[in-house]
C-alpha cells in the first residue's frame, strides 16, 4: 500500500529509522517538504548516517529515491550529501531531483540569521535559510533547480533578486553579503546535479498509475506545521498530510495508509511552549539515554513526558491509521512513567490541544502515572517477550489515541524493531 510516514510531535521522532525499516517493501520513497533543516538518522552497515535532504530509501538500490518539488534545496549541501553517500558505496543512480524544487540561496541563510538575532522574530530556527526560501516561493520571486541548469537565466534572475535583498537587508540595518563569490559554486553544483534532475510530478504520477508502492517521507513533525502547529514556533512548510499532495503533485487517491511516528516520550528543539517539559534529573537522564541532541545542529533537545493530548491531536489531523513508537528502550530504567492525559487552563480541565503558542504556554498538564518495567528491551524481538508493563503502556496509548501501535522500536538498528499486527 502507498504509505505516508509523518512525525506526530515537534520533529526528531525517529522517522529516519522508521522509514529505513519500511523502505525495503517499496518501489519509490519520496521527500515532499522541508529542507536541510531536517535530519534523519539511519544506521547503514553498522555506521551512523545522518541524511538531511536525501530520502532514507536511498540505501535500497532497487528503490527510486525522489526529492519532490515541495522540498527547498541548498545545492551545495546536496552535492556534499550525495558525495558522502557515494563514499559509503551507494551508486546514487536511483536518485531523482525535481526541476521545480526551490533553491535556498545565501541571501536566505543571511536573512534567517538576521531574523533569529532580532528579538521580535526569535523562534529557534536552524539558521539554514529554510523560512526565507519558502517566503520567496510565496512572494513569487523564487529560483528553482531548473534555473540553476541554465547559466544565463540563473545569472539574470539572481541579479534581480540580489537587488531586492540588498534593499531588505538595508531596511533591517544590515549589509547584504556578496553572492559573487558563491555564484560559480552554485553553477558548478547545477552541473553536478543535472543527471539527477527530472519532472518528479510526472515520475510519481506514472509510478502511481503503474501501481508501484510509494512511501512518502515526512520531515519535522505535525506540531511544527505552518498552519496546524504551535504558531509562530513552527517551520515554514506543511509537515502534515496536506503537504504530501501540494509537495508531490499526487492526489489523495494515491495514499492508502498513514503511519504516525512518535517517541515513547517527547522532545522539542528551539523555542516555544512544551507543556510536559522536564527540567530536572529525569529530563537529564532521558536526554542522555536517548542521545537527544539535534542531528542537524547538535543542540541539546528539550525533553519531557509523552503528551497524549498533543499526540491524539496529531493523529486526528493526519488521519493516522497506526503508530510507530520509537525509543521505548530509553524508558527502561524508570520505575514509574508519567503521561499527560489532559490540560488545566483558565477555562478548566480538558483534553483539547491548544495550537497557538500563547494559549498552549498557559496550560498545565494533568498526568497519569504508569508502572515502569526496569528491563533492558534492546535484545527483545518478539511482542510476547515484552514485559507486561510495556504492553500495558502500549495499550494505554492505543486506548487514548484511538489507533493501534503497529511498530515498536527498541534501539537504533533496523532489526531492533517489533512489528505488531493490529
CATH number at residue 390: 3.90.170.10
Q: Measuring CA to CA, which residue among 232, 230, 254, 163 is closest to residue 241?
A: 254
Question: What is the per-residue pLDDT across 36-58, written as a single tens digit (0 to 9) for each?
Answer: 877 777 778 778 888 889 998 88
**Is 206 one of the annotated active-site residues of the chain?**
no
In the predicted model, what is the mean pLDDT of residues 200-227?
96
pLDDT of residue 120: 55
pLDDT of residue 119: 52
Dihedral sign of CA atoms 204, 209, 214, 216 in order: positive
Q: How many domains would you assign to the chain?
A: 1
Q: Of all residues in the chain, what percent carry a pLDDT higher than 70?
A: 95
**From CA 70, how far away is CA 248, in angstroms rounded?**
6
Establish if 316 belongs to a structural domain: yes
Establish if 23 belongs to a structural domain: no
Q: Is the pLDDT of residue 422 over 60?
A: no
Q: What is the 3-state secondary structure (H, E, C) of 151-171?
A: HHHHHHHHHHHHHHHHHHHHH
Q: Is the pLDDT of residue 157 over 50?
A: yes
| Peptide linkage before 232 cis (omega within 30 of 0) | yes
Establish if 383 belongs to a structural domain: yes
Q: Is the pLDDT of residue 196 over 80?
A: yes
pLDDT of residue 118: 65
Angle between helices 180-193 and 75-87 (to 10 degrees): 50
Cβ count near 280 (within 10 Å): 7
In the predicted model, what is the mean pLDDT of residues 59-68?
93
DSSP bridge pairs for 40: 51
**From CA 35, how far away is CA 141, in angstroms rounded?**
18
Q: Where are the beta strands (DSSP E) in 124-213?
A: 197-198
Beta-strand relationship, 47-51 and 40-44: antiparallel
Q: Cβ(407)–Cβ(417) under 8 Å?
A: yes
If phi over 0 gives left and psi between -120 and 50 gives alpha, with beta otherwise, what is residue 10?
A: alpha
Establish if 326 belongs to a structural domain: yes
Could you tell me the pTM of the whole model?
0.93
**Is 40 one of the annotated active-site residues of the chain?**
yes
Q: Which helix (H) or strand (E) holds 208?
A: helix 200-209
**Distances 34 to 4, 106, 197, 310 between C-alpha atoms, Å:** 15, 17, 18, 22
Establish if 195 belongs to a structural domain: no
Q: Measuring CA to CA, which residue among 60, 131, 129, 66 is closest to residue 99?
A: 66
Q: Cβ(247)–Cβ(225) under 8 Å?
A: no
**From CA 410, how far away is CA 328, in angstroms rounded?**
6
pLDDT of residue 163: 87
Establish if 67 belongs to a structural domain: no
Q: Where are the beta strands (DSSP E) in 186-270?
A: 197-198, 214-217, 257-263, 266-268
Residue for cell digits 518539488? 69
Question: What is the per-residue pLDDT across 14-38, written as a single tens digit (0 to 9) for each?
Answer: 888 898 889 889 999 999 999 987 7
> Residues, the chain, total?
422
**From CA 338, how far away is CA 359, in angstroms rounded?**
23
- Residue predicted with more confidence, 110 or 258: 258
Dihedral sign of CA atoms 48, 238, 75, 173 in order: negative
**From CA 262, how far away is CA 107, in angstroms rounded?**
35
Give me the chain's average pLDDT, please: 92
Q: Which helix (H) or strand (E) holds 246?
A: helix 242-248
Cβ count near 254 (within 10 Å): 19
DSSP 217: E
Query: Which one is catalytic: 20, 36, 40, 307?
Result: 40
Establish if 322 belongs to a structural domain: yes
pLDDT of residue 249: 98
Question: What is the per-residue pLDDT across 263-295, written as a single tens digit (0 to 9) for each?
Answer: 999 999 888 999 999 999 999 999 999 999 876
Torsion of CA 280, 395, 8, 255, to 10 degrees: 170
| Residue 307 structural domain | 262-419
Instruction: Measure CA 173 to chain center.
Output: 33
Count the alpha carbons within 13 Å of 90 in the hemisphere toward its beta carbon.
Answer: 25
Q: Which of 115-129, 184-198, 247-261 has the lowest mean pLDDT?
A: 115-129
Q: Cβ(247)–Cβ(137) under 8 Å?
A: no
Establish if 111 belongs to a structural domain: no
DSSP bridge pairs for 339: 306, 368
Q: Cβ(70)–Cβ(32) under 8 Å?
A: yes
Residue for cell digits 537522564? 285
Amino acid at each position: 500500500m502507498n504509505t505516508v510516514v509523518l512525525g506526530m510531535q515537534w520533529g526528531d521522532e525517529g522517522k529516519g529509522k522508521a522509514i529505513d525499516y519500511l523502505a525495503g517493501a517499496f518501489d519509490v520513497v519520496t521527500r515532499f517538504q522541508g529542507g536541510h533543516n531536517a535530519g534523519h538518522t539511519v544506521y547503514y552497515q553498522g555506521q551512523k548516517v545522518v541524511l538531511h535532504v536525501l530520502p532514507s530509501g536511498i540505501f535500497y538500490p532497487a528503490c527510486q529515491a525522489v526529492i519532490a518539488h515541495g522540498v527547498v534545496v541548498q545545492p551545495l549541501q546536496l552535492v556534499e550529501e550525495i558525495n558522502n553517500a557515494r563514499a559509503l558505496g551507494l551508486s546514487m543512480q536511483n536518485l531523482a531531483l525535481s526541476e521545480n524544487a526551490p533553491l535556498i540561496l545565501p541571501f536566505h541563510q543571511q536573512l534567517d540569521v538576521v531574523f533569529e538575532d532580532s528579538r521580535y522574530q526569535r523562534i529557534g530556527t536552524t539558521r539554514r535559510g529554510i523560512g526565507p526560501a519558502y517566503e520567496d516561493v510565496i512572494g513569487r520571486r523564487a529560483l528553482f533547480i531548473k534555473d540553476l541548469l541554465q547559466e544565463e537565466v540563473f545569472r539574470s534572475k539572481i541579479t534581480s533578486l540580489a537587488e531586492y535583498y540588498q534593499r531588505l537587508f538595508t531596511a533591517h540595518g544590515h549589509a547584504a553579503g556578496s553572492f559573487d563569490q558563491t555564484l560559480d559554486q552554485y553553477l558548478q553544483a547545477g552541473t553536478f546535479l543535472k543527471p539527477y534532475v527530472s519532472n518528479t510530478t510526472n515520475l510519481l504520477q506514472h509510478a502511481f498509475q503503474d501501481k508501484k508502492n510509494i512511501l512518502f517521507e515526512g520531515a519535522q513533525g505535525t506540531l511544527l506545521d505552518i498552519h496546524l502547529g504551535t504558531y509562530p514556533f513552527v517551520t515554514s512548510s506543511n509537515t502534515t498530510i496536506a503537504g504530501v499532495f501540494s509537495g508531490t503533485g499526487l492526489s489523495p487517491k494515491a495514499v492508502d495508509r498513514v503511519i504516525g511516528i512518535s517517541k515513547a516520550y517527547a522532545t522539542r528543539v528551539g523555542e516555544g511552549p512544551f507543556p510536559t517539559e522536564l527540567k530536572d534529573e529525569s529530563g537529564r537522564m532521558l536526554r542522555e539515554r536517548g542521545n537527544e541532541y539535534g542531528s542537524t545542529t547538535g543542540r541539546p533537545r528539550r525533553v519531557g513526558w509523552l503528551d497524549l493530548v498533543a499526540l491524539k491531536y496529531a493523529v486526528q489531523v493526519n488521519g493516522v491509521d497506526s503508530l510507530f513508537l520509537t525509543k521505548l528502550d530509553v524508558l527502561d530504567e524508570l520505575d514509574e512513567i508519567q503521561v499527560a492525559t489532559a490540560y488545566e487552563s483558565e477555562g478548566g480541565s480538558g483534553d483539547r490541544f491548544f495550537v497557538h503558542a500563547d494559549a498552549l504556554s498557559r496550560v498545565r498538564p494533568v498526568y497519569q502515572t504508569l508502572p515502569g518495567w526496569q528491563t533492558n528491551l534492546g535484545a527483545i524481538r518478539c511482542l510476547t517477550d515484552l514485559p507486561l508493563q510495556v504492553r500495558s503502556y502500549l495499550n494505554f496509548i492505543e486506548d487514548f489515541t484511538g489507533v493501534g501501535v503497529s511498530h515498536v522500536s527498541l534501539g537504533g538498528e533496523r532489526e531492533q524493531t517489533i512489528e505488531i499486527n493490529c
